[in-house]
Amino acid sequence: MQEIEVQSLEEFSCNLSIKDLIEAGAHFGHQTHRWNPKMKIYIFEEKMVFTSSI
C-alpha cells in the first residue's frame, strides 16, 4: 500500500453542496442492523430501520 503525505486538510477538500449530497442519495443513511457500535456517537437520528449521520 502506498502512503500519501498530506501537508494540509485543504488538499483533500472538495466543493460539495447539500444539493450534491441529496442527488447522490447520501441522505438515505444505512440500515440499522449494519451499524458499527463504535459509530453510535456520530448517529444523528434513527427512523424505522434507517439512520442519518452527520
Q: Which domain holds residue 35?
A: 9-53
Instruction: Record the pTM.
Output: 0.32
Query: Residue 26 falls within a domain, yes or no?
Result: yes
Number of domains the chain contains: 1
User: Is residue 4 in some structural domain?
Assistant: no
2 is a domain residue: no
Residue 28: inside a domain: yes
Which pLDDT score, from 0 to 100, does residue 50 have? 47
For residue range 2-45, what is the model confidence (pLDDT) as tens digits? 776 666 656 556 777 878 877 877 766 667 777 788 877 877 66
Specify the pLDDT at position 29.
65
All 3 cell numbers of residue 49? 430501520
Tell me if 13 is assigned to some domain: yes
Does any domain span residue 3? no
Q: Which residues of 40-54 are buried (b: 16+ CB within 10 A; e: fewer)?
A: eeeeeeeeeeebeee
Residues with Cβ within 8 Å of residue 35, at least 6 apart in sequence? 43, 51
